[in-house]
């Protein structure tokens, strides 16, 4: 994190929809350089890109946009960051607007993977390269577009292992411990994260029958909070709770709901993914809900890397590398300020 992240801390908490849902298979679905109507390659020295973010009001995406703009400024390019408000129709409309404006490339955080074929078809017809950020997607040929983000399975496995490390240290009995897995079936990246978290718990010896799936549609604290209440009520025998999911927001929201329902924070082992709420939870006065750890992501680096790859492709005709992943960094209360230096 750099100075830009300090300003962004005051914005709405981010919803981590970041992730690496792109597979390595066919990652280079786009290697088309800008062309003239005659098919000749066009020289572009100062390209303009559009960065479409599924929820640009979230602080994570603000930081990602800051990273994209900073990198573009260094390269002599322009990046227009657009908030799609989790709307598929708005995303398609903004791609059509970008085509009409003759932009030189699209970077898209897709609100749903199912939108991929339509987006790729529009960009392909206009001879404009398109790549994915955070949420991977593919064209109608099922080939993933170039991707920058996280390896969702790797991050999920790390969060699951971290949660189980705490569980073992707490020496709780599995007979009276239950696990909340906060999911979002519509986003492949979240599915990959939560599947890996569940596998890590089972591999560590936790009973599969005590893992409870709690689905959301938007990966927010609010939905996780609302959807957890009925689960807690239905399991009065539970004395301890493990909590994890696709991002920090849902882990915090579910843990908060447990506390509101009478569970003491010391009986909750909640682990997030992304690190976006860690500063607020551990250093800015958020209530203690048993949030014990997370895996940290640098969103600025994701935005910057996406712009650099698109710039090199458009200006220097360099082939996309396929998938570019940032590495997870485990973070606890004890390591907060060492990892997140802006906090």
What is the CATH number for 143?
Answer: 3.40.50.2300
The total domain count for the chain is 2
Is 278 in contact with 250 (CB distance < 8 Å)?
no
Say if residue 87 is exposed, middle or buried (CB neighbours under 10 Å; 0-12, 13-18, 19+): middle
The whole-angstrom separation of Cα 68 and Cα 82 is 12
Between 266 and 24, where is the model more confident?
266
Is 42 in contact with 34 (CB distance < 8 Å)?
yes
The whole-angstrom separation of Cα 297 and Cα 173 is 32
Predicted local distance difference test score (pLDDT) of residue 43:
67
68 CB-near residues (< 8 Å, 6+ apart): 51, 79, 81, 107, 303, 304, 306, 307
Residue 50 lies in a domain: yes
**What mean pLDDT, rounded, does the chain reach?**
88
Same domain, 176 and 290: yes
Query: Residue 48 forms beta bridges with which residues?
Result: 78
Predicted local distance difference test score (pLDDT) of residue 8:
37
Same domain, 123 and 160: no
Between 328 and 235, where is the model more confident?
235
Same domain, 178 and 282: yes
Is 44 in contact with 314 (CB distance < 8 Å)?
yes
Residue 60's closest CA among 274, 314, 312?
Answer: 274
The whole-angstrom separation of Cα 160 and Cα 157 is 5
Which pLDDT band holds residue 128 (cuts at 50, 70, 90)?
very high
215 CB-near residues (< 8 Å, 6+ apart): 182, 183, 184, 185, 227
Is 241 in contact with 178 (CB distance < 8 Å)?
yes
Residue 146 lies in a domain: yes
Predicted local distance difference test score (pLDDT) of residue 63:
86
Residue 246 lies in a domain: yes
Mean per-residue pLDDT, 16-34:
37
Same domain, 142 and 68: yes
Predicted local distance difference test score (pLDDT) of residue 42:
57
Same domain, 35 and 99: yes
Residue 44 lies in a domain: yes
Is 105 in contact with 130 (CB distance < 8 Å)?
yes
Same domain, 13 and 144: yes
Say if residue 174 is exposed, middle or buried (CB neighbours under 10 Å; 0-12, 13-18, 19+): middle
SS3 at position 42: coil
Mean per-residue pLDDT, 177-182:
98
Predicted local distance difference test score (pLDDT) of residue 2:
40
Same domain, 285 and 310: no
Same domain, 120 and 220: no
Q: Is the pLDDT of residue 46 over 60?
A: yes
Same domain, 10 and 108: yes
Q: What domain range includes position 208? A: 152-296
Residue 49's closest CA among 112, 122, 103?
Answer: 103
Alpha-helix residue ranges (DSSP H) falling in 146-186: 152-170
Which pTM does this prediction carry? 0.76
The whole-angstrom separation of Cα 201 and Cα 95 is 41
Same domain, 158 and 80: no
For CA atoms 152, 155, 242, 245, the dihedral sign is negative
* DSSP notation for 69-85: HHHHHHHT-EEEEEE-T
Same domain, 317 and 199: no
Predicted local distance difference test score (pLDDT) of residue 55:
85
């Amino acid at each position: 994190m750099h100075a830009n992240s300090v300003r962004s801390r005051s914005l709405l908490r981010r919803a981590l929809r970041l992730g690496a849902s792109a597979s390595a298979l066919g990652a280079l679905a786009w290697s088309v350089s800008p062309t003239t109507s005659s098919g000749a390659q066009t020289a572009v020295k100062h390209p303009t890109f559009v960065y479409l973010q599924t929820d640009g009001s979230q602080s994570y995406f603000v930081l990602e946009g800051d990273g994209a703009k900073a990198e573009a400024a260094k390269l002599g390019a322009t990046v227009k960051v657009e908030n799609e408000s989790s709307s598929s129709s708005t995303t398609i409309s903004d791609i059509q607007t970008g085509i009409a404006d003759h932009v030189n490339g699209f970077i898209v955080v897709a609100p749903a993977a199912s939108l991929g074929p339509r987006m790729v078809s529009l960009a392909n017809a206009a001879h404009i390269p398109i790549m994915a950020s955070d949420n991977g997607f593919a064209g109608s040929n099922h080939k993933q577009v170039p991707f920058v983000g996280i390896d969702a399975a790797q991050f999920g496995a790390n969060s699951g292992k971290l949660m189980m490390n705490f569980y073992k240290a707490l020496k709780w009995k599995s007979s009276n411990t239950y696990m909340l897995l906060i999911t979002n079936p519509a986003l492949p990246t979240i599915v990959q994260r939560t599947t890996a978290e569940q596998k890590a718990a089972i591999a560590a010896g936790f009973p599969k029958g005590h893992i409870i799936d709690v689905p959301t549609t938007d990966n927010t604290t609010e939905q996780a909070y609302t959807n957890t209440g009925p689960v807690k009520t239905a399991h009065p025998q539970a004395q301890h709770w493990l909590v994890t999911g696709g991002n920090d927001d849902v882990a915090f929201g579910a843990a908060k709901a447990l506390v509101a329902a009478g569970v003491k924070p010391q009986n909750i082992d909640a682990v997030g993914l992304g690190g976006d709420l860690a500063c607020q939870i551990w250093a800015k006065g958020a209530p203690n809900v048993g949030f014990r750890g997370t895996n940290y992501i640098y969103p600025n680096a994701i935005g910057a890397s996406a712009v650099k790859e698109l710039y090199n492709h458009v200006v220097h005709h360099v082939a996309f590398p396929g998938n570019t992943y940032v590495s997870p960094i485990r973070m606890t209360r004890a390591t907060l300020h060492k990892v997140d230096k802006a906090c």
